Amino acid sequence: MRILSGIQPSGSLHLGNYFGMMKKMIAYQENEDLFCFIANYHAMTSVTDGNALARGTLEAAANFLALGMDPERSTFWVQSDVPEVQELTWALSNFTPMGLLERCHSYKDKVAKGIAANHGLFAYPVLMTADILLFQSDRVPVGKDQKQHVEVARDIALKFNNQYGEIFTVPEAEIDDEVATVPGTDGQKMSKSYGNTIDLFLEEKALRKQIMRIVTDSTPVEAPKDPDRCNVFQIYRLFLDKQQQQALRKRYEAGGMGYGEVKQELFETVRDFFTPFAERRRELLADLDGLRATLARGADKARQAGAKTLRKVRKKTGLAY
């Protein structure tokens, strides 16, 4: 089965990205045909500093590779190294009703927040559709915030197939209930744009600061506490198996445990979880040409896979004459 997903290099990657998508993608390499990319075209909708985008792209790639993405076994590349996706975007745009895009929550939310809408932001889901369809993806593991975008991809694939014949695999989103929406330090969805993230690979001091800002209520130390309403627990549980979660629940419910204590434990847990991968990440970022070469090989593989689809599209639409 072909599994594909992408991640934007706009700012640091965080625990929401890790548990919502990266962890699953890395695990899938064992048995599936995995396609994974750094969505730098998409990041242009929010990052306008060229140096920041370039640096963010290299860092996102290094993070993924350090955490276990295997570029030999999987196909791992940077979106803009396979510009064919833009050609497909154009073809698909002609099968994308305005209303379909106007209904997209992430677009509507941004506009509601006062972000000036431009065509890139509006057409974002069409580019995402092209990412998915170019590689004939069966399944797309994402967090819940991307569910609607994968539905858009399905709609467009069906419309296009309806016109030209069975060209595209109609993809399915894969969303894991447990990690569909990882909460941030304020209890809302963890998101770069809300400033409530706990980032991957932070220095100790910065990590402690992010964890200490997790919002808790004012229940006194002695009193029993409700883990289901505690932001610290909701993040901490991601690192624990069922038994460990149960044990932590009991400590909450027994009282006598302060939020400061559990935050300190969470800090140590997050730090210890990522530390074994930090050295590899440092090595990758110390040899940027090596990293670029790895990404270039990934782009070659992706290009070959995409070329087949694009040939069919060109033929059926009449672009090939």
The annotation status of 106 as a binding-site residue, yes or no, is no
The beta strands (E) that lie in 14-138 are given as: 33-38, 75-78
Tell the smallest beta-carbon distance from residue 132 to ligand TYM (Å).
5
Binders of ligand TYM in range 71-110 (CB under 6 A): none
d(CA 194, CA 186): 9
> How many CB atoms within 10 Å of residue 267?
18
Tokens of 57: 């792209």
Structure tokens at 161: 């197939």
Which residue, 100 or 251, has its beta carbon nearer to ligand TYM?
100
Per-residue binder mask for ligand TYM (CB under 6 A), 276-305, x = binder = ------------------------------
The residue among 257 and 295 lying less far from ligand TYM, judged by its C-beta, is 295
Two tokens at 80? Answer: 């803009």
- As measured in angstroms, the least distance from the Cβ of 43 to ligand TYM is 8
Q: Does 210 bind ligand TYM (CB under 6 A)?
A: no
Residue whose pair of structure tokens reads 């209904």 in the numeric block? 103
HSE-CB for 147 with a 13 A CA cutoff: 10
- Please report the beta strands in the chain, taking only residues with DSSP state E, as ranges in sequence order: 2-7, 33-38, 75-78, 139-141, 172-174
Annotation-wise, does 16 bind a ligand?
A: yes
d(CA 314, CA 290): 35
For residues 4-33, which are near ligand TYM according to CB under 6 A? 5-8, 16-17, 20-21
Q: Determine, following the binding rule CB under 6 A, whether residue 182 of this chain makes contact with ligand TYM.
A: yes
Q: Binding residue for ligand TYM (CB under 6 A) from 46, 169, 181, 245?
A: 181
Tokens of 52: 């920041």
Tell me, what DSSP letter sits at residue 30? T
Instruction: Indicate whether 42 belongs to the interface with ligand TYM (CB under 6 A).
Output: yes
CB of 318 to ligand TYM, least distance (A): 27
Question: Are β-strands 75-78 and 33-38 bridged in parallel, bridged antiparallel, or unpaired?
Answer: parallel
Question: Nearest approach, Cβ of 40 to ligand TYM (angstroms)?
Answer: 10
Q: Which residues are part of the catalytic machinery?
A: 110, 189, 192
Contacts of 237 (CB under 8 A, 6+ apart): 227, 245, 248
Query: CA dist 21 to 24, 142, 300, Å?
Result: 6, 5, 24
- Which residues ranging from 120 to 139 are in contact with ligand TYM (CB under 6 A)? 128, 131-132
Q: Could you list the residues known to form a binding site for ATP, using ranges.
A: 8-10, 16-17, 143-145, 182, 189-193
Q: Could you list the residues known to form a binding site, using ranges.
A: 8-10, 16-17, 131, 143-145, 182, 189-193
Give me the residues that bind ligand TYM (CB under 6 A), please: 5-8, 16-17, 20-21, 39, 42, 128, 131-132, 140, 142-143, 145-146, 179, 181-182, 189-191
